[in-house]
A and B are shown apart, each in its own frame.
Chain A
Amino acid sequence: MTPSTSDDNSVLLVHAYLDGELDPANALEIAQRMSTDPALAAEGRRVTALQQLIHERLPREASPPGLRARIEASVGGHRRGRERPSWRALAASIALTAMVASSSTWLIIGSPPESTTADSLVSDHIRALMAPQPIDVASSDRHTVKPWFNGRIPESPRVVDLAKQGFPLVGGRLDVVGRDPCPTLVYRHEKHLISLTEMPAGSRLDLGKTPRTINGYNVVHWTEDGVSYWAISDLAASKLEDFAHLFRTTPAES
């Protein structure tokens, strides 16, 4: 109806912003422009409405039964080649579970410390700090951060607004533990960043002992409602415990 007063580039940036593709500086700028430019705001609403419509109406269907088997057969009857590693994987995971179950023996037996979830997550946290930005979606609004995970992972993470308590949300990213993507929320307290990763409790990822500190980073781990939470930060341990307590006790009303 009304001719757009915004240039084409701004329109593209609105789309990129809603797709979580902008770095924090650009995200902030376009968010501000959307709040003052009705044309850009309307564009944003249309994009969001369309994405929601697609998300609701078109569930992602799985491939037809039998297709996988035919593909495996077509790559040359190498099924044995596939089975052997998966047997090994099974054996290895049983062995590793046994090791971990017997508390600290895992160190002696020589399983490298990197193979615990906490180590992997601390590495993710450190790497995120070294990257140009620690997040893939930059927003202090959990209504932006939460939907960003839609379509990337099957579960939707619990996102709580703790800005009033001194822990504003900065954004979110996906960390990879093992081979599985896990939603990670990034909160800030003063100049410290906190990475909070959620994963299904009791999954094969969620094993390994829980050290209090790794390389100087504090780790707080808890499980609630079948979800395992890992908070990693260089924040003082007591402050990180406070954060964990707030996160657990603050309702995530929608």
Chain B
Amino acid sequence: MAQVQCIPQRGSDGIGFTNYWQNVAAMKSEKPLLRLASSATQGGLSGLDDNARFADVVMPHIDDAYRLAHWLTGNSTDAEDVVQDASLRAFRAIRGYAGGSARAWLLCIVRNTAYSWLRKNRPTAVVTVDDLEAVELAQANPSDPDAETPETTLLAQIDADQLRAAIAALPAPFRETLVLRDIEGLDYREIAQTTEVPIGTVMSRLARARRRLTATLGGKSID
């Protein structure tokens, strides 16, 4: 079974990331305002407990979960299946949620669910860890020739379908990183937690994803 640990990992980024977000998260669980409803989560029936936590932790992020699943599976029907499956897993694992970004926690489960779903239903499209490493190696140099630098003005002529197709064509590790950052607006720490890689890897994948995308969109027109 896919793991639902989703523990944030830290790389040797060494550039002084703030731990403010952890503080925010800690604060959030410590000192709720108008969250009297959650007193129900403190004790009482365990069934009620889990459901209240699920409503607090998971339900606010269903839209984000759906969008990520859509980008990973490529279509809305599969995305719905994946999100439903992932929600069930999240429900079963809800007691393991120990604070921190609830959104990243859920998206990590969605991501794992999507990849196991793809392995099962679309084995040809599966991205294995070896593939990921091959991609990393092949793209080890961010200033590679296919990332030549088009004029930014060319980008303004791209329409939504072209943009969507270009993002969909990115290799999965680049695609998910770009989607989580530039569409979903997660910060690096949350992306590291969601994709289970160090922050340094998030940074290099993001830079390469953006370069490839810019090169594709500006370099050659997509039909």
Contact = CB atoms under 8 A, between A and B. Distances in A.
B134 interface: no
B19 A179 contact: no
Contacts, number: 205
B15 A26 contact: yes
Contacts of A60: 63, 67, 183-184
A177 B214 contact: no
Contact of B37 (A63, A75, A86): A86
Interface in A21-44: 21-23, 25-26, 42
B33 A120 contact: yes
B27 to A, nearest CB: 6
Contact of B156 (A23, A53, A78, A205): A53
Given A54-B182, A67-B83, A26 B31 contact: no
Contact of B33 (A2, A4, A71, A115): A115
Nearest to B94: A75
A51 B184 CA distance: 12
A62 B63 contact: yes
A137 to B, nearest CB: 10
A131 B17 contact: no
The secondary structure that dominates the B interface is helix
Given A58-B160, A176-B24, A67 B62 contact: yes
Interface in A159-212: 173-179, 204-205
Most chain B beta-carbon neighbours within 10 Å: one of A60, A123, A177: A60
B92 to A, nearest CB: 9
B24 to A, nearest CB: 5
A67 B66 contact: yes
A58 B62 contact: no
Given A85-B40, A92-B37, A1 B148 contact: yes
B155 interface: yes
B152 interface: yes
Interface in B130-149: 141-143, 148-149
A89 B41 CA distance: 13
Contacts of B36: 88-89, 92
A57 B20 contact: no
A246 interface: no
Contacts of B39: 88
A112 B55 CA distance: 25
Contacts of B98: none
Interface residues on A, range: 35 or more
B5 interface: no
A146 interface: no
B33 A3 contact: no
B63 A81 contact: no
B48 interface: yes
A179 B28 contact: yes
A13 B187 CA distance: 14
B114 to A, nearest CB: 15
A226 B45 CA distance: 42
Nearest to B20: A131
A218 B175 CA distance: 46
By Cβ-Cβ distance, the 5 closest A-B pairs, closest first, are A151-B185, A81-B51, A63-B66, A89-B37, A49-B152
13 contacts: A4-B143, A8-B204, A11-B142, A25-B16, A61-B67, A64-B80, A71-B59, A78-B51, A88-B40, A131-B20, A136-B18, A175-B24, A179-B33
